[in-house]
Amino acid sequence: MDFPKVNAHLHTPFSFSAFGDIEDALDRAVAEQVKVVGINDFYTAEGYEEWVEGCRQRSLYPLFGIEFISLNEEDQKAGLRVNDPGNPGRTYISGKGLSQPFRLNEPYASQLADVRAEANRQVEAMCEKLNGILTGKNVGFILDMDWIKDNLTRGSVRERHLAKALRLKVYENCGDAPTDIKNLLEEIFDGRELKSDTENFAGVENEIRANLLKAGGPAFVPETAEAFLPMQTVCKIILAAGGIPTYPFLADDVQGNYTDFERDLKHVAEQLAGRGFHSVEFITTRNDVNLLENYASYLHDRGFIVTLGSEHNSPQMEPLELFARNQTPLSEKLKRINYEGACVIAAHQYLVAQGLSGYVDQQGGADRSKRGEFVKLGDELIRNRVGKQ
C-alpha cells in the first residue's frame, strides 16, 4: 500500500523559516508530492488561516501544530539533559492537532501572549547589543528593529532574523562585492574569517549567529526565567487549544550519542507516558536512519502517536520530502508509522473542531487501544482531500 507523503513539522515566516512565505512552502510541497503538511511555529497559531486556505487551493491536507520551549525544574536541578543538549531541564514541546479556527481561553491565552512577548524582548535586547558593536566599529550602519519586524517577520522575532538583517545590511553596504563583504564581516567578527562563500546566504547567516548571537557571543542576551513556562503549563495550554502534547525527540547525534533523558529507550518511553505524553515526533534529518527506525518503531509499538518532520526553521532550504541524515531515504516502515501518526492527528483535529472528544481528552488522557480507529478515520479524511495514491 502506498502512503501519501507526510511532513508533520514545518515552520513558516510566522516564526522563522527557510521559506519566503506560506505560498512558497506549500508550492514546494506540491512540487515534491508531499500531500500532508503540518504547520508548527513557535508560540503562535497566526499562520493557520493562511495555511488552511493554501492547502485547500492545492488539495493538500493541513495539520495544525505549535511549538514551545519549556522548563522542567526537577530535571534542571538534577542536571538532566532532555531534548536540548546544552541546557539541562530545558524541554521543547510541540502541540499537534490544535483547533482550527484557533481558540484559547484564559488564563492560557495570556500565558501564551506573555511568553511570546518575552521571547521578542530578548531578541530586541540582542539587537541593541549588536548595534552597540556596529557603532563601536564605525561600520556606517546599525539595524532597525522596526524594519526587521515589518519586513522579515510576521510577529515573532527570533535571533535568526537578526542574523538575516545583518547579512542584508552588510551586503547592501558592500555593494555585494565578495571581498568587501568578507573583510567587513571579519571586522565585525573581531578578526575571525568568514568561512562560507558569500553566495551561500544560509552559511553566512549561520556564521553571523555563531560568532555574535549564540551563548558566548558578544551580542548574546540570556533568556530570563519568564521566557520559559513550566512543562506542565505548556501541556495545559496545548490541551486547552484542543491539541495533543507531543514530545520532540532529539535522538542520536552524528556520533550516535543521546541525551541523558533519551539514552535508555525503554525508560524514556515509560517516563514520557508517566508525564502524560501519548505523542512523539522526530526531525528526521538529524538522525541515522537505522537508529531512527529503532526508536520510532519501539514507541509506535507501545501505542504512541509517532510523526516525522523537517522543521525548516533555519536559512538552509532542504527538501520537504523527508530524509534521514545524509539524505538517506526513509524506510517503508518509517513512512507507514509517520502516515498513521498523521492520520490520528487528522482525525483528532477533525473531531475537536466539531466540539467532540478527540484522541486525547481535555485532561490529557487517551485510550491507546482506540488508535486504530483514529488511523482509519484520518486515512479517510486525508484520502478524500488528496486523492487515492
User: Tens digits of per-residue pLDDT, 312-368?
Assistant: 988 889 999 999 999 999 999 999 999 999 999 999 999 999 999 999 998 999 999
pLDDT at position 214:
87
Residues of the chain with pLDDT under 50: 389
pLDDT at position 182:
94
pLDDT at position 323:
97
Maximum Cα–Cα distance across the chain: 65
Beta-bridge mates of residue 329: 323
Q: Report residue 108 as a C-alpha cell.
A: 492560557
pLDDT at position 1:
60
Give this prediction's pTM: 0.89
Element (H, E) at 16: none
pLDDT at position 72:
87
Q: Which residues contact 255 (CB under 8 A, 6 or more apart)?
A: none
Rg (CA), the chain: 21
pLDDT at position 119:
85
Q: Which residues contact 354 (CB under 8 A, 6 or more apart)?
A: none
Domains assigned to the chain: 5-103+241-386 (3.20.20.140), 112-213 (no CATH)
pLDDT at position 275:
93
Q: Report residue 297 as a C-alpha cell.
A: 518503531
pLDDT at position 91:
93
pLDDT at position 20:
87
